[in-house]
Amino acid sequence: MKIKALIIIHLLLITISYCNKSSSHCEQQTLFASAESHYLLGIQFSKGVEVPLSYKKAHHYFESSAHQGNTNAQYQLGLMYCRGRGLEVDFKRAFHWFLKAANKNHPLCQACIGIMYKRGLGVKACKLKSYAWTSLAKTNGYIYPGFSMKSCTDKMTKTEITEGQSLAIELFNRISSHSLVVHSEVTSKK
């Protein structure tokens, strides 16, 4: 696995070096690259490491990778839409990309979904769903200072907490069995 990662990084560095000389040729060469290499190119362009900083190109590569199922690229797209990096802030699209990765068990995206439900960003605010997604993120190992279940339960009744726990178990079972969570409550709130 480490050798494969080193080979991908080596090829990526060669590609990036070549990209600096002829960016149009670089984009043609990477058109058929793997989801992982597109993700790594997106990281390079989003940070301006060894290539000129370009959120437009970062978005292009993240989107290509995300459409191929790369959950890290889906997370990066969600961040770009939340922060307005090279794009207009669009919480609805951010939620869409976070949810895709969250449904594939990406703990950070699960935490983002919990926060978006709590604050009503791109979706209708819902304490139960916020609790469930936050609980799922914690169960899957997401640990961050200031991120706690207490922030979800402060304004919840015991009955709501119990319902939130049941929803968290349901989400866990669906995601564990690789079924997608159907979500029909996305709003146009930005």
* CA dihedral of 158, 119, 183, 147, whole degrees rounded to 10: -70
The pLDDT assigned to 183 comes to 42
**pLDDT tens profile 7-23:** 444 444 444 444 444 45
What tokens were used for 96? 């869409």
Give the chain's domain count.
Answer: 2
Same domain, 113 and 189: yes
Q: Are residues 116 and 52 in the same domain?
A: no
- Please indicate, yes or no, whether residues 77 and 100 belong to a single structural domain of this protein: no
Residues 81, 166, single domain; the answer is: no
Q: What pLDDT score was predicted for residue 155?
A: 80
- Let me know whether 46 and 25 are in one domain: yes
The residues, ordered by sequence, that sit 6+ positions from 134 with a Cβ below 8 Å of its Cβ are: 110, 111, 114, 115, 118, 147, 149, 152
Residue type, 84: G
pLDDT at residue 69 is higher than 60: yes
How much is the pTM? 0.73
Query: What percent of the chain has a predicted confidence (pLDDT) above 70?
Result: 72
pLDDT of residue 146: 62
**Of 71, 89, 107, the domain-final residue:** 89
Domain of residue 62: give its range: 1-89
Task: Specify the higher pLDDT residue, 165 or 59.
Answer: 59
Q: Per-residue pLDDT tens for 110-143?
A: 999 999 999 999 999 999 999 899 989 988 888 7
Are residue 83 and residue 119 in the same domain, yes or no? Answer: no
Spatial neighbors of 183 by CB under 8 A, at least 6 apart, are 99, 123
